[in-house]
């Protein structure tokens, strides 16, 4: 530590080892010495000798200048030698290659190679060329490398030393080798015939010593120039040293002393510790603040910082000299921020300087800020991660997932059963454990699904009464909590859970349940700040739980409405074996629906529809459309005409609905309507924007019926078309909504292909078909409703059908009655004969009187006895009440009284008047 003169306390005088970094009194002492030498009249020569000995800045500059000049001279000589070598090698390569190519392409060379004695012709030429080109050898050889020429004749006929492979293939070889005559560069080139064939090789080589010599001539000049430069540099350095000495001598001892005193005062008055460490980790300087912060001994200067009693990490950092910025180190009870920089930058002495700042209070503030940041982050994550779905149970689970382990080690959520069902809870009812989250799964807490009540002395019961959060810091001493379930609470305490926060889940004035936060890992109990955080966390989750509860209630109401609008059971009929499936959407209720409608003549209508959208409006609209189809089907209309009426109805519904109200227009309503006749085994199908039906033949082949696709209902403007399908007995007709074959992850083509594969592998019954289709998509939670209707066709046996053609003659009525009586007797329905004769007499008489030929009577024995009269007229009879004076008009009245049902349906050839009687 540097101290001012006159200060109390010891002052270290031990000189540091390594490169010497002078302490603060040094500059002042040297200034005083120079001043005294100047006043004593020492000559200019004395100061110059002092500078040349290197004890001043001028001396160091002088030595540095001389060293630089010497280094420049050495560098110039080395560069010259390297350049000459490079030029020599390049010259040798170029000359040897040029000589070899010239000789190889010279006239007569190729012809001489083909002569009986190539050596006799080529040896004189090669020697003459070698001497003229000033190379060491020119060798001509065959493609096997056998020499024909050589400067030394006894080497002719021997194999050439070098790489000739590329030259034999037509290339050129230039290489540097160590030959018998020294280091040389040789080139080998081919002698090629006009067709490109290599007939021989020519090699030329030259030693590098024959090319060099430039360096020997230039080196004396460079050395002479370097000597002159050294002399000039020495003289210039001497002049600079004299000037520096003269300028330094201008400062008197007082100025130098005051400069030191100011430096020392500033160094020891700053509130940051300053430490200078030299080579090998020795402490050179430490101010008063550094002594206080590090608790250094008085004789610390000059000692190794690793031997001053500091902690290992801090001592190693100060000794290493690495650059750090605001690196925190605990030293005793303090937390120090260390900044360290090396001192040898810009030519300074080796070592490092470090500043130390006490940041203990800042650390405490940073810790509190970090804790506040973590709590804000927890609340933010709770706002984002809790309530992602409108499911009460899942929302409770999300609350537990967010709170563990960031806030508590275990979290339990207990809600009233009424909340789980979407209803308002009743005070005092039992709670049900809805969600449990924890850092481990073996905690002895109540499991999920357990129903219980809290005793009055428990903190949970107090929270429910006061609607305020309750903190229980020490569970092992909480007698009220221990009384809840003595055996289980004892296990909880033994498990290590020691503190609890219980918070009621409030939604306005309604308490929905409780959330308990348990801690086991941290020994500290929950505090009041954490109690407030728990209240805020549960308050945010309570909004999502209440929203989910309200949605559950509304969803339940919508599902109930939707279920009530769908058929509860299928009507009895003999034409089709039917199975169906209905899957509601994963979220919300939709507008998918289906129906089976018995028609006259043992026929059956199948209908499947879809109202796009979800919610009560879609369900209500679906009910309206289903009711309309029921009413329109009573008119016995063809499928295309029925869809036309339904389209007009949807258009009127859209006009009646306000555009901005909750009842949005019915955009996207689709429908498929099919009528199957078991007598003709034909099926008439029309569709309005709906997927086509699938048909499974009795042999198992699956096809999608080619039914013209009409526009969705409500658009208007385009007619619908009916397609006629002939279905053999045992065929299966599959009707479905688009939720089965289309969703966000796949398009309708992929869905239809998957449906085709599932239908192809399904069993023969409609029930097995439904099961196979849904099993193929497991696990399956549709985002849209799915309606699936599978109908296997039956045919009415021929012995249950009776038909007669009737001429347009009233006398034919008697014949018809006789034929009907006979057929009824064959069917064992003698009791029905009188009624049936009477009904057919009236119907046939009306057809003869008011209709048009041809006239035909058909009687079907199905679940009812059906009588039908066909004629080609278009006039529809109507029921009226005849007056007492009227002679006629009572025929249809009698038919209506005797038959269970009767009606009229139109065909392409006319109309049919039918009546049904129940069988005994």
Strand order in the sheet with 901-907: 801-806, 855-861, 864-871, 910-918, 901-907
For tokens 């959407």, the residue is 585
Biggest CA–CA distance in the chain, Å, is 172
Q: Which of 234, 266, 238 is nearest to 68 (CA)?
A: 234
**Residue 756 corresponds to which tokens in the numbers above?**
């085709």
Rounded mean pLDDT, 495-521: 92
**Does residue 407 surpass a pLDDT of 70?**
yes
Q: Which of 188, 222, 185 is nearest to 77 (CA)?
A: 222
- Computed over every residue of the chain, the mean pLDDT equals 81
Q: pLDDT digits over 744-775, tens only? A: 777 888 889 999 999 999 999 999 999 999 88
Partnered with residue 118 across adjacent β-strands are none
Q: What is the pLDDT, as a whole number, of residue 489?
A: 92
Q: In sequence order, what DSSP letters do the residues of 547-597 get, joined into one string?
A: HHHHHHHHHHHHHHHHHHHS-SSPPP-SSEEEEEEEE--SSS-EEEEEEEE
**Residue 262 corresponds to which tokens in the numbers above?**
């100011």
Residue 105, CB-side half-sphere exposure with 13 Å CA sphere: 7
Give the DSSP H or E segment for 189: strand 182-192
Q: Residues near 98 by Cβ (< 8 Å), separated by ≥ 6?
A: none
Partnered with residue 581 across adjacent β-strands are 788
Q: pLDDT digits over 76-108, tens only? A: 777 777 777 777 778 778 888 888 888 888 888
Q: Residues near 667 by Cβ (< 8 Å), separated by ≥ 6?
A: 612, 654, 712, 714
* Cα gap 79→67, rounded to integer Å: 18
Q: Which of 26-35, 217-226, 522-531 has the lowest average pLDDT?
A: 26-35
Q: What is the pLDDT, as a whole number, of residue 270?
A: 74
**Does residue 666 surpass a pLDDT of 90?**
no
**Residue 545 corresponds to which tokens in the numbers above?**
């739980």
Helix then strand count (H, E) for the chain reads: 25, 31
* Cα gap 713→666, rounded to integer Å: 8
Question: Residue 486: exposed, middle, or buried by beta-carbon count in 10 A (0-12, 13-18, 19+)?
Answer: exposed
Q: pLDDT digits over 906-920, tens only? A: 888 889 999 999 988
DSSP label of 146:
B
Q: How crowded is residue 15: how many other Cβ atoms within 10 Å of its Cβ?
A: 10
* Cα gap 685→598, rounded to integer Å: 16
Residues 710, 735 contacting (CB under 8 angstroms): no
As a whole-number percent, the residues of the chain with pLDDT over 90 amount to 30
Q: Which of 434, 282, 277 is nearest to 341 (CA)?
A: 277
**Residue 817 corresponds to which tokens in the numbers above?**
């009655």
* pLDDT higher at 11 or 653: 653
Q: What is the pLDDT, as a whole number, of residue 252?
A: 47
Q: Which of 619, 510, 502, 636 is nearest to 558 (CA)?
A: 619
Residues 786, 592 contacting (CB under 8 angstroms): yes
Phi–psi pair at 145, nearest 5 degrees: 85, 10
Residue 663, CB-side half-sphere exposure with 13 Å CA sphere: 10
Helix, strand, coil fractions of the chain, as percent rounded to 5:
45, 25, 35
Q: Which of 569, 560, 559 is nearest to 590 (CA)?
A: 559
* pLDDT higher at 17 or 430: 430
Q: pLDDT digits over 303-319, tens only? A: 888 888 788 888 888 88
Q: In terms of C-beta distances under 8 Å and separation of at least 24 residues, what long-range contacts does 755-764 make, across chains too?
A: 755/694, 756/694, 756/702, 756/704, 759/694, 759/696, 759/702, 759/734, 760/700, 760/701, 760/702, 762/696, 764/730, 764/792
CA quadruple 412, 417, 420, 422: dihedral, nearest 10: -140
Q: What is the pLDDT, as a whole number, of residue 320?
A: 85
């Amino acid at each position: 530590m540097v101290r001012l003169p006159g200060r109390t306390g010891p002052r270290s005088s031990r000189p540091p080892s390594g490169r010497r970094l002078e302490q603060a009194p040094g500059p002042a002492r040297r200034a005083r010495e120079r001043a005294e030498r100047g006043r004593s009249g020492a000559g200019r020569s004395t100061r110059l000798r002092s500078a040349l000995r290197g004890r001043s800045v001028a001396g160091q500059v002088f030595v540095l200048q001389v060293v630089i000049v010497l280094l420049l001279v050495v560098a110039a000589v080395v560069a010259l030698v390297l350049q000459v070598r490079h030029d020599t090698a390049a010259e040798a390569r170029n000359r040897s290659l040029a000589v070899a190519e010239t000789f190889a392409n010279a006239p007569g060379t190729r012809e001489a190679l083909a002569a009986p004695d190539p050596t006799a012709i080529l040896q004189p030429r090669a020697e003459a060329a070698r001497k003229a080109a000033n190379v060491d050898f020119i060798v001509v050889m065959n493609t096997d490398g056998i020499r024909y020429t050589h400067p030394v004749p006894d080497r002719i006929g021997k194999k050439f030393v070098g790489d000739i492979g590329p030259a034999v293939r037509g290339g050129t070889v230039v290489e540097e080798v160590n030959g018998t005559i020294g280091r040389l560069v040789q080139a080998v080139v081919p002698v090629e015939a006009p067709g490109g064939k290599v007939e021989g090789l020519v090699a030329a080589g030259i030693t590098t010593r024959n090319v060099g010599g430039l360096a020997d001539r230039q080196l004396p000049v460079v050395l002479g120039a370097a000597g002159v430069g050294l002399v000039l540099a020495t003289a210039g350095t001497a002049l600079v040293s004299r000037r520096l000495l003269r300028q330094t001598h201008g400062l008197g001892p007082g100025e130098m002393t005051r400069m030191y005193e100011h430096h020392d005062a500033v160094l020891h008055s700053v509130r940051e510790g300053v430490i200078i460490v030299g080579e090998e980790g020795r402490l050179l300087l430490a101010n008063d603040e550094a002594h206080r912060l590090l608790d250094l001994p008085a004789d610390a200067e000059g000692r190794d910082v690793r031997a001053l009693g500091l902690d290992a990490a801090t001592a190693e950092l100060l000794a290493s000299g690495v650059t750090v910025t605001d690196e925190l180190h605990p030293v005793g009870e303090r937390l120090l921020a260390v900044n360290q920089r090396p001192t040898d930058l810009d030519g300074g002495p080796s070592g490092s300087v470090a500043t130390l700042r006490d940041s203990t209070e800042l650390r405490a503030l940073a810790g509190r800020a970090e804790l506040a940041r973590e709590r804000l982050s927890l609340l933010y994550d709770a706002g984002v991660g809790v309530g992602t779905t409108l499911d009460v149970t899942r929302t409770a689970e999300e609350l537990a997932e967010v709170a563990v382990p960031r806030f508590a080690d275990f979290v339990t959520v207990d809600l009233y059963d009424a909340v789980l069902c979407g209803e308002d809870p009743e005070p005092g009812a039992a709670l049900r454990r809805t969600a449990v989250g924890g850092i481990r799964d073996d905690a002895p807490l109540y499991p999920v699904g357990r129903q219980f009540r809290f005793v009055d002395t428990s903190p949970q019961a107090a929270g429910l009464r006061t609607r305020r959060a309750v903190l229980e810091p020490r569970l092992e001493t909480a007698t009220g909590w221990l009384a809840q379930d003595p055996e289980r609470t004892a296990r909880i305490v033994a498990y290590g859970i020691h503190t609890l926060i219980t918070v009621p889940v409030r939604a306005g004035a309604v308490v929905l349940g409780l959330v308990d936060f348990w801690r086991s890992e941290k020994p500290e109990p929950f505090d009041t700040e954490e109690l407030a955080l728990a209240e805020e966390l549960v308050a945010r989750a309570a909004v999502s739980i209440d929203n989910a509860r309200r949605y559950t209630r509304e969803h339940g109401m919508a599902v109930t409405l939707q279920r009530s609008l769908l058929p509860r059971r299928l009507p009895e009929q003999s034409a089709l074996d039917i199975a169906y499936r209905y899957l509601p959407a994963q979220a919300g209720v939709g507008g998918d629906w289906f129906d089976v409608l018995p028609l006259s003549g043992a026929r059956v209508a199948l209908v499947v529809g879809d109202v796009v959208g979800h919610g009560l409006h879609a369900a209500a609209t679906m009910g309206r459309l289903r009711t309309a189809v029921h009413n329109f089907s009573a008119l016995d209309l063809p499928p295309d005409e029925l869809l036309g009426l339904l389209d007009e109805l949807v258009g009127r519904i859209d006009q009646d609905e306000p555009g901005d109200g909750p009842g949005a227009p019915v955009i996207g309503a689709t429908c498929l309507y099919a009528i199957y006749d078991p007598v003709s085994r034909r099926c008439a199908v029309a569709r309005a924007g709906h997927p086509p039906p699938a048909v499974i033949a009795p042999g198992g082949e699956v096809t999608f019926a080619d039914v013209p696709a009409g526009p969705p209902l409500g658009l208007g403007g385009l007619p619908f078309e009916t397609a006629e399908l002939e279905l053999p007995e045992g065929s299966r007709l599959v009707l479905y909504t688009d939720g089965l074959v289309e969703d966000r992850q796949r398009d309708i083509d992929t869905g239809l292909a998957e449906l085709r594969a599932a239908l192809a592998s399904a069993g023969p019954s409609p029930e097995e078909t439904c099961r196979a289709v849904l099993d193929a998509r497991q696990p399956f939670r549709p985002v849209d409703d799915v309606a699936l209707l599978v109908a296997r066709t039956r045919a009415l046996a021929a012995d249950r059908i009776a038909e007669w053609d009737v001429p347009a003659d009233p006398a034919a009525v008697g014949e018809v009655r006789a034929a009907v009586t006979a057929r009824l007797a064959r069917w064992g329905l003698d009791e029905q004969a009188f009624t049936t004769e009477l009904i057919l007499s009236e119907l046939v008489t009306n057809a003869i009187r008011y209709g048009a030929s041809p006239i035909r009577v058909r009687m079907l024995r199905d679940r009812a006895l059906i009588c039908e009269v066909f004629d080609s007229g278009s006039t529809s009879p109507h029921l009226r009440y005849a007056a007492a004076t009227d002679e006629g008009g009572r025929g249809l009245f009698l038919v209506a009284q005797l038959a269970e049902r009767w009606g009229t349906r139109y065909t392409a050839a006319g109309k049919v008047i039918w009546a049904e009687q129940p069988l005994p």
